[in-house]
Structure 1
Amino acid sequence: MAQQVIMPKWGLTMKEGKVVRWLKGEGESVESGEPLFEVETDKITNSVEASASGILSQIIVPEGETAAVQAVLAVITAPGEKPDEIASGTVSSKQPEVSANTDGEKVTSKSADVPVEDGEFVRAMPAARKLAEELNVVMSTVTGTGPNGAITMKDVQTVADAAFSGINASPKAIEFARKKGIDLSQINGTGEGDKITKADILRAMNPVADQSTSVAPAVAKDTIVPMDGVRKLIADNMHASLNNAAQLSVFVEIDVTEIVQLRTTLLLRNKRNSEYRLSYNDIVSYAVCRALKRHPIMNSTLQDDGIHIHEHVNLGIAVALPNGLIVPNIKLADSFTLEELKTEIKDVVGRSRSGGLNMDEIAGGTFTISNVSMLGVDGFTPILNPPETGILGVGRIIEKPAVKDGEIKIRKMMTLSLTFNHMTTDGAPAMAFLRELGDMLENPGLMIV
């Protein structure tokens, strides 16, 4: 019997994923439990195992395309079995997406039956309904080719494109013309091969006097980076973070001369070990864990049922990747010594860059550190990593004249930036945490008392 391969749901916030790579091709045999394809989300890229053994008879979502959670990506069949092909955009009927309503009760996704203007019902996929609204396509004019005659996104797109068949125009020009109700047969194209571009439509909508006698200057072509995949998901999460939390940032400049000396001493003590490394971020992380234990409200998360103050620190470390940002966290970070914490940080940062993290290591964080010192930045306003209450920004260390023991001396100075959720805590407790953290970094002995 044919088995559907669906887009998995990793974490409560995952809505879609991008198929990065198929590890098997159509027609190849598949064993249950072996890696079948790779999925990229805003948090992680990971492989997904085959749920059944058989033949990969149909790949519905090709590499590079994004699909919603529970969308059918492929079909695995028994040898010799030839099931009906499944259209792109189909959602698994065996595993409906489950969400929670405001009362906490679980509800399944909406029916695919949607009303049209005349009161009749047309069976359509939710994604097809949304696309039809965007393209102004009347559902009753579309013939469904999906399961049980349901209308798919491909069916809607076919009807929408039919009105522009035979017209030499770019996809963006066609989309723009469709929304504006413009007849492209009246537009002269200036693109490659006389293709009509969106700019041609805009010029036709806003003609310039004596345009026929003027010489159009050469227009430099922009480099366009698609706003999709990880970049789009990060953008959505950052926007949601700002919309759903009352974020306030405070700053403090501290004298870290003593921390610089402490690091130098520890490096000298271990100079015989050529592989020994100790960063300022390791020391700051250790101090943050100590300070959070003394100011537990900053080690909290805002959830639907209230503020959760956590017994242990799951410390998030923001790691910049070539295609975005990821925040793995070290579980029970407050239970480690400086040397142990240093090793844990090195491990998760290394695996973040090599793609070796699992979902547990990027979920459940309680506080985050974002260090930009290597970029030569003094201070900034970090954005919260929901549902956490606080995130600490760490700037570079720079020599400055400062007053020490009544005299002006050259000291090592650093700026700390703390963003916190004012819905969870007030300014005074947050600032008290930042001040105590600064005191620890100015006087390392305070970390052990």
Structure 2
Amino acid sequence: MAVEVVMPKLGMSMKEGTVSVWNKEVGETVNKGESIASINSEKIEMEIESPAEGTILDIKVPEGEGVPPGTVICYIGEGNEQIEEKKEKDLPPKQKKERKKISPVARKIAQSANLDIHTLVGTGPDGRITKADVLRALPDEKEKQHNEPTKHQPVSMMRKTIASRMMESLQTSAQLTITMKADVTKLTALQSELNETAAARHDMKLTMTDFVAKAVVLSLLEHPAMNSQYQNDRVETFEYVHLGIAAALDHGLAVPVIQHAEKLSLIELAKSIKSYGKKAREGRLLHDEIEGSTFTITNLGAYAVEHFTPILNPPEAGILGVGKADHMPVYHGNELCKGTILPLSLTFDHRVLDGAPASQFLSTVKAYLENPVSILL
């Protein structure tokens, strides 16, 4: 009996998932646990593994199409096995419409050339559109010589969500960015010293992001106005800190949320940051793990960026951007020494608080980073 492969539900709030890429075609054999497709939903992208060994009998959802969780996206079974008619009736209305059958290679070529596949005539089995069919529909070589080459790529669900949230953020809030530089010379020395113990006891190393995250949590507790959001003509301030840590992915950005960060020690916070970062890169984050943040940190130091203008993660009132720490001469008292300077960029919602309290918050973060022992006490 054919096995159904369905669109998984990646969280309570998930309403739709999109098939990004099919790794297999109809008629190809698969092993249990083998990746057969990539899917994405808002900020989450993951691989779909085959639940059984067999042959891809039918692909019900083409690349680029979004469907609700629980929708059958393909069937796996024995070579010439027939799929029972009743399973087709179980599909949601969106899946019952007639679709063009097209090979993955042909689909990619058509998308790159901006061709509407519904206008193409397929010469393959059962009217399937082949690579040759698409190539025949492309403009002839003379016409192509007169046009600049253009690459067309469909926008993924993740990219659409990021674009929508960023535009919403800029259009619905009064954003202002202020910057400071923190002398983290003492912090880098402490970091190096603590990493010997952290490696021996916890099999991990502490990063600059870990210390910044702890400094931010402590500062938010001292300046709760920054730990707020503006909604429905009122400001809501939180007594807890749900800390978002932006994580760069191959095809976008995810912001996993560390719940109740105010209750975690430096080591516990560092472990959470690393764990969620790993899950984000592997596409294993659930919707519930990227929602509910009250403040966000984004670090572009690894890309040699200094000061930049982070965009608020709505509906939060603040986001801290961390740049690349650089060595430069600094005065320690009257003595000129080699120091390490860390650029900090704070974007805040001017509807929630003004420049003075925002500056006080950033100054407190700076103070913790410049006196790192206070982070540990």
Fold shared by both chains (TM-score > 0.5): yes
- The CA deviation string for residues 316-350 of structure 1, in whole angstroms up to 9 with x for no partner, is 11111111110101111111111111111111111
Structure 1 counterpart of 2:245: 317
Structure 2 counterpart of 1:66, one-letter code: E
Q: CA separation of 1:360/1:446 partners in 2, compared to 1, >3 Å: closer, same or farther?
A: same
Aligned residue for 1:334, secondary structure, equals: helix
Structure 2 counterpart of 1:410: 338
Structure 2 counterpart of 1:344: 272
Q: CA separation of 1:246/1:275 partners in 2, compared to 1, >3 Å: closer, same or farther?
A: same
Aligned residue for 1:396, secondary structure, equals: coil
Q: CA separation of 1:351/1:72 partners in 2, compared to 1, >3 Å: closer, same or farther?
A: closer
The answer as to 2:18 corresponding to 1:90 is: no
Structure 2 counterpart of 1:40: 40
- The whole-number CA distance in structure 2 between the counterparts of 1:265 and 1:70 is 49
Q: CA separation of 1:261/1:81 partners in 2, compared to 1, >3 Å: closer, same or farther?
A: closer
Residue 435 (structure 1) aligned to one of 363, 366, 370: 363
Counterpart contact for 1:302–1:387, Cα < 8 Å: yes
- The whole-number CA distance in structure 1 between the counterparts of 2:193 and 2:352 is 40
Q: CA deviation at 1:444?
A: 1.8
Structure 2 counterpart of 1:40, one-letter code: N
Structure 1 counterpart of 2:66: 67
- The whole-number CA distance in structure 1 between the counterparts of 2:46 and 2:136 is 42
Counterpart contact for 1:7–1:67, Cα < 8 Å: no
Counterpart contact for 1:71–1:91, Cα < 8 Å: no
- The whole-number CA distance in structure 2 between the counterparts of 1:246 and 1:89 is 42
Counterpart contact for 1:382–1:392, Cα < 8 Å: yes
Structure 1 counterpart of 2:311: 383
> 1:269-288 counterparts in 2 under 5 A?
269-270=197-198, 272=200, 275-288=203-216
Q: CA deviation at 1:385?
A: 1.1
The answer as to 2:178 corresponding to 1:250 is: yes
Structure 2 counterpart of 1:225: 153
Structure 1 counterpart of 2:18, one-letter code: K
Q: CA separation of 1:305/1:44 partners in 2, compared to 1, >3 Å: closer, same or farther?
A: farther
The answer as to 2:294 corresponding to 1:366 is: yes
Counterpart contact for 1:282–1:345, Cα < 8 Å: yes
The answer as to 2:326 corresponding to 1:327 is: no
> 1:279-318 counterparts in 2 under 5 A?
279-304=207-232, 306-318=234-246
- The whole-number CA distance in structure 2 between the counterparts of 1:255 and 1:26 is 60
Counterpart contact for 1:16–1:67, Cα < 8 Å: yes
- The CA deviation string for residues 201-242 of structure 1, in whole angstroms up to 9 with x for no partner, is xxxxxxxxxxxxxxx976552343333332233222222221
> 1:17-56 counterparts in 2 under 5 A?
17-20=17-20, 39-45=39-45
Greater shift, 226-235 or 329-338, is seen at 226-235
The answer as to 2:281 corresponding to 1:353 is: yes
Structure 1 counterpart of 2:325: 397
Query: Which consecutive residues of structure 1, in runs of 5 or more, have no partner in the other structure?
Result: 28-35, 50-55, 93-145, 147-151, 158-169, 176-190, 201-215
Aligned residue for 2:352, secondary structure, equals: coil
Aligned residue for 2:319, secondary structure, equals: strand
Aligned residue for 1:410, secondary structure, equals: strand
Q: CA separation of 1:253/1:83 partners in 2, compared to 1, >3 Å: closer, same or farther?
A: same
- The CA deviation string for residues 171-198 of structure 1, in whole angstroms up to 9 with x for no partner, is 75889xxxxxxxxxxxxxxx9768559x
Aligned residue for 1:419, secondary structure, equals: strand
Aligned residue for 2:314, secondary structure, equals: coil
Counterpart contact for 1:9–1:15, Cα < 8 Å: no
- The whole-number CA distance in structure 2 between the counterparts of 1:374 and 1:69 is 37
Counterpart contact for 1:60–1:87, Cα < 8 Å: no
Structure 1 counterpart of 2:19, one-letter code: V
Structure 2 counterpart of 1:299, one-letter code: N
Counterpart contact for 1:61–1:74, Cα < 8 Å: yes
Which is greater in Rg?
1
Structure 2 counterpart of 1:423: 351
Q: CA deviation at 1:266?
A: 0.8
- The whole-number CA distance in structure 1 between the counterparts of 2:249 and 2:168 is 21
Q: CA deviation at 1:301?
A: 2.6
Structure 2 counterpart of 1:178: none
- The CA deviation string for residues 91-144 of structure 1, in whole angstroms up to 9 with x for no partner, is 59xxxxxxxxxxxxxxxxxxxxxxxxxxxxxxxxxxxxxxxxxxxxxxxxxxxx
Structure 1 counterpart of 2:123: none
- The whole-number CA distance in structure 2 between the counterparts of 1:269 and 1:10 is 37
Counterpart contact for 1:381–1:419, Cα < 8 Å: yes
Query: Which consecutive residues of structure 2, in runs of 5 or more, have no partner in the other structure?
Result: 28-35, 50-55, 76-81, 101-111, 118-133
